[in-house]
């Protein structure tokens, strides 16, 4: 098993090298001149040149790339010009914010979508099937941006139930000591119940926004996969043997229907992690997506490269985890297969 | 019921009773902290806490302004609507106790009791080191210093421990005002030198992350892109002790949410909202909204005068008559701008800037001028704008496009990404574009020197060159330095008239700076840099 994991990781190295080269070239090909941007509105040509020299953008591309890879080998992703901080530190601080939000959103989504999908599959054509269809269609066709704003408008602005959309904590709480970077866990470790409640209440609306959006693929995939399994022969046999409907559905059918659902989950998770920029913007969430987009707008190379690289590494790891999960759920699937 | 009132009423009740919402169960101590704290929400935050740093952005200037002191600052006067407005011509001592201006130098005596945040006294060597730093680091700070003829470290002389002399390179009216802008701030030289390296002799990496000044506030926490927390420096001696103890400045990218935060009473101050929002907030009266014209800020339509058809003054005049001025002010700015057009035909030119042109929308005149220039059938061109300010620029360009279509001029709109805008301006190839310029130093000859002079600075976006214009601008600068008022007035009137006759750029309007705040916030002051001065603000 371990050697297989090592082998899989080794296979990922060439693709990571490819990612490094492509992102480097792509960021350089972006329109816009970071030196002119950061020289400020009142810069003369000489001032722009001075800045260019300071940033090292006057060197030939090959030399810039060489320096970049050498730094990378030392774990240095460079410094962002827009925020003025080292990229590695920023990603370390921001990734947990995005991950906590995405995981919670996904958890909520799974908790609703799986039962909904299973029920819809066991009673096709019934009212619950139609509910499932309507809910998922509505969820996926509402842009996250819109859902987020509507939730803020209703629950914060109109009703006042939700706290101000000001990021991860109320303004007057200080962040807990970073252990995991997940505020829900860190506040519990610190034993600060007030801060925990604040962190949780800040999370509810953005997580709900993400959940609404990601319901559709999970519920639809569960339904389709369950339908297929329920019509298969071993389910008919199980039913014929007189097993209770609950045992048939949960123990036999559901476990077999899980594989495509897991695949969808992994895709939804990695998609959400990078793509919840809009949710982060609406809720002033200090996540990784908004960080990357802001850097892109300012043609700030280092964070963009760091972001793409981090995402690539995450995809590799996630795929590995999914593959291992397959083996656990279905013993017939093995890593080498 | 406002949340704040609600808090008071439930603070006696058992915690956790009502809702799973944190503020409802907040302890009494935290509610107290709220009343002494100012919560500011804005779109962007600083990228560097030191204005001398490489590429420090505009929000970074606000930190510098409040956390560092300068030798001198400006007095306040009553501005439009009674709002305190900085007085361009009156200076007050800040770190300096007094200022003596001689023929070719100015001498500053420092306050003896001023201390940096770490307790070291502020001395003349700190002042010299800081000014040396400003003229030496390159980039924007050095450029800004040079605008007041401050370019060489030799100009800053330590007389004794508490006296500094600034020698003038030449007579320049802008030298003293330039010492009161944000850039010449005084830095704790010993502390920064300790943290400087061979590669970074001015310690820019150190001051990027923390403030090392003597100002009224100090940054205690900064999470880039998320928040800045500033605490009052209780030992500040350069002015009356500020009322606000703590400033929390949060970045909220969504304009709609910033407005919601204000209207719910959770945030105290916000700016950078769409004009429409400011207009509505003004109308419903729940918040106090301050709108003041940006000193010497002008949104204009520029034309590249080196290439046809805009090398022909008649074509430029035709365009100046074809601008939908009033529509732009109504539909784009929602009235939050001063018109820069339509002065009465018999109105004499003033010795002031900005002032309105005599152009107004007159399509017949525009058609006639265009025909005279030989473009009776129109032509094709491209109008470019900076996407970073798309909220204003895009509708503005669409209105211009519509209006020009009536003259047979077919315009394509070219949206330039913000990161690319300055590169494009520097190339000076765009035929037609809209842009905005405003200088910190509010003097007509200063504005014209950057925007119309033949030395072709980046702000002379039109590549306009005229020996007569150069003569008038140089004349006004020299006359201002020597105090020759008659020549100065004649030259200023001369270059304003010439700029309006040849119209290489068409002034549209003078925009307002808008700030929305809770009714219990008072003491807002307008500064040339248009950022907040926390020292004067009062809550409650």
Residues B207/B186, Cβ–Cβ less than 8 Å: no
pTM of the complete model: 0.83
- Window 121-160 of B: residues touching A by CB (8 A cutoff) are 138-140, 142-144
CA nearest A205 in B: which residue? B21
CA nearest B143 in A: which residue? A43
Residues B191/B120, Cβ–Cβ less than 8 Å: yes
User: Which residues does chain A have within 8 Å of residue B48's beta carbon, measured at their own beta carbons?
Assistant: 84
What's the average model confidence in pLDDT over B233-255? Answer: 91
**Alpha helices per DSSP H over B406-484:** 418-427, 444-451, 467-482
Instruction: Compare CB distances from B22 to A40, A48, A198 and report the shortest one's residue.
Output: A198
User: Which residues does chain A have within 8 Å of residue B208's beta carbon, measured at their own beta carbons?
Assistant: 84
Between A298 and B294, the higher pLDDT residue? B294
**pLDDT of B9-20, one tens digit each?**
434 333 333 333
Give CA separation, A103 vs A206, A207, A311, in Å: 11, 9, 16
Residues B132/B153, Cβ–Cβ less than 8 Å: yes
Selection from A321, A240, A301, A293 nearest residue A81 by Cα = A301
Phi, psi of A134 (to 5 degrees): -65, -45
SS3 of residue B94 by DSSP: coil
Give CA separation, B485 vs A133, B212, B470, B477, in Å: 80, 42, 19, 11
Asked whether residue B7 carries a pLDDT value surpassing 60, the answer given is no
Selection from B453, B499, B490 nearest residue B340 by Cα = B499
What's the average model confidence in pLDDT over B301-316? Answer: 92
Between A62 and B27, the higher pLDDT residue? A62
Q: DSSP for A212-252?
A: HHHHHHHHHHHHHHHHHHHTSHHHHHHHHTT--HHHIIIII
How many of the other CB atoms lie within 10 Å of CB of B231? 16
Between B349 and A2, the higher pLDDT residue? B349
Best mutation target among B201, B254, B456 (most A Cβ atoms within 10 Å) is B254
User: Chain A contact for B286, CB < 8 A?
Assistant: no
> CA-to-CA distance for B322 and B364, rounded, in angstroms?
9
What's the average model confidence in pLDDT over A164-182? Answer: 80
CA nearest B260 in A: which residue? A157
HSE at residue B505, side-chain half, CA atoms within 13 A, is 27
Close Cβ partners of B481 (under 8 Å, ≥ 6 residues apart): B170, B171, B172, B173
> CA-to-CA distance for A287 and B219, rounded, in angstroms?
23
User: Which residues does chain A have within 8 Å of residue B140's beta carbon, measured at their own beta carbons?
Assistant: 39-40, 42-43, 47
Task: Provide the residue ranges of all domains of chain A, joining segments of one domain with +.
Answer: 97-299+313-329
Query: What is the third-level CATH fold of B298-511?
Result: Dipeptide-binding Protein; domain 3 (3.10.105)
> CA-to-CA distance for B435 and B504, rounded, in angstroms?
13
B130: Cα separation from own chain's centroid: 22
The CATH-assigned architecture of domain A97-299+313-329 is: Orthogonal Bundle (1.10)
Q: pLDDT value at position B1?
A: 41
Cβ within 8 Å, pair A44-B254: no
Pairing relationship of beta strands B72-78 and B84-93 according to DSSP bridges: antiparallel
Look up residue A305 and give its two tokens: 């490269």
**pLDDT of B123-139, one tens digit each?**
999 999 999 999 998 77
CA nearest B30 in A: which residue? A172
Looking at B252-347, which runs of residues are DSSP E strands? 269-271, 288-293, 298-303, 337-339
**pLDDT of A226-278, one tens digit each?**
888 888 888 888 888 888 888 888 888 888 888 888 888 888 887 787 667 88
pLDDT band for B26, please (50, 70, 90 cuts).
low
Give CA separation, A204 vs A191, A307, B20, B22, B246, in Å: 21, 26, 10, 12, 29
Pairing relationship of beta strands B96-101 and B105-110 according to DSSP bridges: antiparallel
In sign, the C-alpha dihedral spanning B82, B86, B87, B90 is: positive
Task: Provide the residue ranges of all domains of chain B, joining segments of one domain with +.
Answer: 58-250+518-539, 298-511
Between B17 and B141, the higher pLDDT residue? B141
SS3 of residue B366 by DSSP: helix
How many of the other CB atoms lie within 10 Å of CB of A177? 10
Instruction: Compare CB distances from A43 to B56, B140, B254 and report the shortest one's residue.
Output: B140
User: Which residues does chain B have within 8 Å of residue A283's beta carbon, measured at their own beta carbons?
Assistant: 257
Query: What is the third-level CATH fold of B58-250+518-539?
Result: D-Maltodextrin-Binding Protein; domain 2 (3.40.190)
Between B537 and A74, the higher pLDDT residue? B537
Mean residue pLDDT of chain B comes to: 88
Instruction: Compare CB distances from A161 to B21, B223, B252 and report the shortest one's residue.
Output: B21
Asked whether residue A337 carries a pLDDT value surpassing 60, the answer given is no
């Amino acid at each position: 098993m371990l050697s297989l994991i090592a082998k899989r990781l080794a296979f990922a190295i060439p693709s990571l090298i490819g990612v490094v080269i492509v992102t480097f070239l792509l960021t350089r090909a972006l329109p816009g001149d970071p030196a002119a941007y950061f020289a400020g509105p009142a810069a003369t040509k000489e001032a722009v040149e001075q800045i260019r020299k300071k940033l090292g953008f006057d060197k030939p591309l090959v030399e810039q790339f060489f320096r970049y890879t050498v730094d990378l080998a030392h774990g240095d992703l460079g410094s962002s010009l827009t925020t003025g901080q080292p990229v590695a530190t920023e990603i370390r601080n921001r990734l947990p914010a995005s991950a906590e939000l995405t995981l919670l959103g996904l958890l909520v989504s799974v908790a609703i979508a799986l039962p909904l999908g299973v029920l819809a599959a066991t009673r096709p054509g019934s009212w619950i099937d139609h509910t499932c269809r309507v809910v998922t269609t509505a969820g996926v066709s509402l842009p996250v941006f819109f859902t987020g704003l509507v939730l803020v408008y209703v629950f914060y602005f109109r009703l006042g139930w939700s706290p101000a959309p000001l990021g991860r904590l109320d303004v007057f709480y200080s962040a807990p000591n970073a252990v995991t970077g997940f505020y829900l866990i860190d506040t519990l470790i610190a034993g600060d119940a007030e801060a925990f409640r604040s962190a949780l209440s800040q999370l509810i609306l953005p997580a709900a926004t993400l959940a609404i959006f990601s319901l559709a693929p999970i519920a639809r995939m569960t339904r389709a996969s369950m339908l297929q399994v329920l019509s298969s022969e071993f389910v008919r046999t199980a039913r014929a043997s007189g097993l209770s409907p609950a045992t048939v559905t949960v123990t036999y059918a559901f476990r077999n229907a899980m594989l495509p659902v897991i695949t969808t989950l992994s895709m939804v998770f990695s998609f959400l992690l990078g793509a919840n920029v809009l949710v982060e913007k609406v809720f002033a969430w200090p996540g990784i997506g908004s960080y990357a987009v802001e850097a892109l707008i300012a043609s700030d190379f280092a964070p963009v490269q760091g972001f793409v690289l981090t995402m690539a590494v995450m995809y590799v790891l996630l795929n590995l985890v999914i593959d291992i999960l397959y083996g656990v759920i279905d013993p017939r699937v093995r890593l080498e297969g | 019921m406002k949340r704040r009132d609600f808090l008071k009423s439930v603070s006696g009740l058992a915690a956790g009773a009502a809702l799973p919402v944190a503020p409802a169960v907040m302890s009494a101590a935290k509610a107290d902290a709220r009343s002494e704290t100012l919560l500011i929400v804005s779109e962007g935050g600083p990228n560097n806490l030191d204005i001398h740093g490489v590429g420090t952005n505009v929000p970074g200037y606000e930190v510098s302004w409040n956390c560092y002191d300068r030798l001198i600052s400006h007095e306040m006067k009553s501005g439009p609507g009674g709002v305190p407005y900085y007085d361009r011509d009156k200076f007050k001592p800040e770190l300096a106790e007094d200022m003596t201006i001689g023929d070719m130098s100015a001498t500053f005596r420092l306050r003896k009791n001023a201390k940096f945040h770490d307790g070291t006294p502020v001395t003349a060597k700190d002042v010299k080191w800081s000014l040396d730093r400003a003229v030496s680091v390159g980039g924007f700070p050095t450029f800004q210093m040079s605008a007041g003829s401050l370019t060489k470290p030799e100009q800053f002389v330590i007389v004794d421990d508490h006296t500094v002399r600034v020698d003038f390179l030449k007579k320049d009216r802008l030298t003293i005002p330039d010492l009161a802008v944000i850039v010449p701030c005084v830095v704790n030289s010993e502390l920064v030198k300790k943290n400087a390296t061979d590669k970074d002799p001015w310690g820019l990496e150190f001051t990027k992350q923390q403030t090392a000044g003597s100002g009224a506030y100090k940054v205690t926490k900064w999470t880039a892109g998320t928040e800045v927390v500033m605490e009052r420096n209780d030992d500040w001696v350069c002015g009356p002790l500020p009322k606000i103890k703590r400033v929390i400045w949060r970045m909220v990218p969504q304009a709609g949410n910033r407005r919601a935060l204000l209207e719910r009473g959770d945030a105290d101050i916000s700016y950078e909202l769409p004009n429409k929002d400011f207009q509505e907030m003004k109308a419903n009266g729940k918040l106090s909204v301050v709108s003041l014209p940006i000193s010497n800020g002008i949104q204009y339509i520029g034309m590249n005068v080196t290439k046809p058809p805009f090398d022909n003054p008649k074509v430029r005049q035709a365009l100046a008559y074809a601008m939908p001025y009033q529509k732009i002010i109504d539909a784009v700015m929602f009235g939050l701008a001063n018109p820069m057009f339509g002065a009465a035909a018999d109105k004499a030119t003033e010795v002031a800037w900005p002032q309105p042109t005599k152009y107004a929308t007159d399509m017949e005149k525009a058609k006639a001028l265009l025909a005279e220039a030989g473009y009776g059938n129109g032509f094709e061109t491209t109008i470019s704008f900076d996407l970073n300010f798309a909220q204003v620029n895009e509708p503005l360009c669409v209105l211009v496009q519509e209006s020009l279509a009536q003259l047979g001029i077919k315009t394509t709109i070219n949206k330039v990404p913000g990161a690319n805008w300055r590169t494009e301006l520097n190339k000076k190839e765009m035929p037609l574009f809209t842009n905005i310029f405003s200088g910190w130093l509010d003097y007509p000859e200063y504005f014209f020197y950057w925007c119309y002079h033949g030395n072709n600075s980046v702000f002379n976006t039109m590549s306009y060159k005229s020996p007569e214009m150069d003569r008038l601008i140089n004349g006004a600068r020299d006359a201002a330095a020597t105090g020759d008022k008659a020549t100065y007035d004649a030259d200023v009137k001369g270059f304003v008239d010439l700029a309006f006759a040849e119209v290489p750029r068409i002034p549209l309007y003078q925009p307002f700076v808008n700030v929305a705040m809770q009714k219990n916030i008072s003491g807002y002051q307008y500064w040339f840099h248009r950022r907040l001065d926390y020292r004067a603000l009062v809550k409650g």
